Amino acid sequence: MKSLPYFCRGEVVRGFGRGSKELGIPTANFPVSVVDHLPADIDTGIYYGWACVGTGDVFEMVMSIGWNPYYKNTKKSMETHVIHTFNEDFYGEILNVVMVGYIRPERSYDSLEALIAAINNDIEESKLKLELPEHLKLKEDNFFTSVTSLSSAAPPTTASTSQTIMNGH
Ligand code: ADP
Ligand code: MG
Whole-number average pLDDT of the chain:
87
Cα 139 from Cα 8, distance rounded (Å): 14
The Cα–Cα gap between 58 and 7 comes to: 13
CB atoms within 10 A of CB 112: 9
Would you put residue 137 in left (φ > 0), alpha (ψ -120 to 50) or beta? Answer: alpha
Residue 159 has pLDDT above 60, yes or no: no
pLDDT confidence tier of residue 1, bands split at 50, 70 and 90: confident
What residues are labeled active site? 79
Backbone angles phi, psi at 49, to 5 degrees: 175, -155
Amino acid at 49: G
Do 119 and 98 form a contact (C-beta atoms < 8 A)? no
Q: Is 90 in the pocket of ligand 1 (CB under 6 A)?
A: yes
pTM, to two decimals? 0.88
pLDDT beyond 50 at 162: no
Half-sphere exposure for 139 (CA within 13 Å, toward CB):
16
At residue 166, the pLDDT reads 52
Average pLDDT over residues 143-160: 59
So what's the pLDDT on residue 148? Answer: 61
User: 31-52: per-residue pLDDT in tens?
Assistant: 999 999 999 999 999 999 999 9
Span from the CA of 158 to the centroid of ligand 2 (angstroms): 23
Q: Which atom of ligand 1 is closest in space to residue 21's alpha carbon?
A: 6
